[in-house]
Amino acid sequence: MCGIVGYIGEKEAANFILEGLKKLEYRGYDSAGIAVYDGKQIQVRRFAGKLVNLVNSLEEQKICGKIGIGHTRWATHGEPNDRNAHPVTGATGRVVVVHNGIVENYLSLREELESEGVNFLTETDTESIVHLIEKYMSLGNNLVTSLKNALRMVKGANAIVAFSSDEPDTIVAARLGNAGGVVIGYGQGEMYVASDIPAILGHTTKMSFLDSRQIAIIKKEQAIFEDLDGNKVTPDIQQIS
């Protein structure tokens, strides 16, 4: 279980995310990546090895955009190479997911999706989540409903953060069981999400934490919390010193 950082607001998402991922390096990891919506499409950059590979790539060619997610991976399914690094995309390139934890029923989900014609591009368990989200979105559901439907099928302890170029004003974060935490940070006209407090503490001290089976719908001005059954949850906004 490694690091997750996400940003939505008016600043460059990539700068925020890289800074946050650096603060989570102490946790150890084998690869790192970032996905940012550039106004037209989701740009993904991900590399095996140290964060410096990602930093160098972004210095060579920036990705500009105001919504994005990043990840440092500790591989459980699929070797630590560029292709298996997160963020993970599906068939459309319009949905992107970072994930901590293990999808315990990944093999049966993969077999079922493949029997429906889905082509897997990685060896990760994470990719099954992306394809499930895409499947429900293709049936006309929005990202939040699609993620909820997907998570009803997923077994195991997982922290998941995702966004879609179809709804580039929203990041969704979810927690199932205990695969590390999910913290949502409140800024001024911007919001943050991370697996761990240090990733965002330099930017805000106002934070809320997801419990198991809760989901946060994060926009730049606010976050709405629900459980997976759709019941509203009032977040406990804590002051972190």
Cα–Cα distance, 137 to 83 (Å, whole number): 24
Q: Is 1 in the site for ligand GLU (CB under 6 A)?
A: yes
Part of the chain binding ligand GLU (CB under 6 A), chosen from 14-22, 96-104, 140-148, 229-237: 96-104
- Give residue 192's Cα distance to chain centre: 12
Q: Which is nearer to ligand GLU, 66 or 73 (CB)?
A: 73
Cα–Cα distance, 138 to 76 (Å, whole number): 29
* Nearest approach, Cβ of residue 22 and ligand GLU (Å): 17
Q: What is the DSSP letter of 211?
A: P
Cα–Cα distance, 100 to 157 (Å, whole number): 8
Q: Which is nearer to ligand GLU, 75 or 203 (CB)?
A: 75
Q: Is 31 in the site for ligand GLU (CB under 6 A)?
A: no
* Nearest approach, Cβ of residue 155 and ligand GLU (Å): 13
**61-80: contacts with ligand GLU (CB under 6 A):** 73-78
Tokens (6 digits) for 101: 């934890």
Q: Which is nearer to ligand GLU, 62 or 77 (CB)?
A: 77
* Nearest approach, Cβ of residue 121 and ligand GLU (Å): 13
Largest CA distance in the chain: 50
**98-137: contacts with ligand GLU (CB under 6 A):** 99-102, 124-126
* Nearest approach, Cβ of residue 180 and ligand GLU (Å): 8
In angstroms, the Cα distances linking 76 to 8, 73, 143, 198 are: 28, 9, 26, 24
Cα–Cα distance, 137 to 126 (Å, whole number): 17
Cα–Cα distance, 97 to 132 (Å, whole number): 11
- Residues near ligand GLU, by CB under 6 A: 1-2, 73-78, 99-102, 124-126
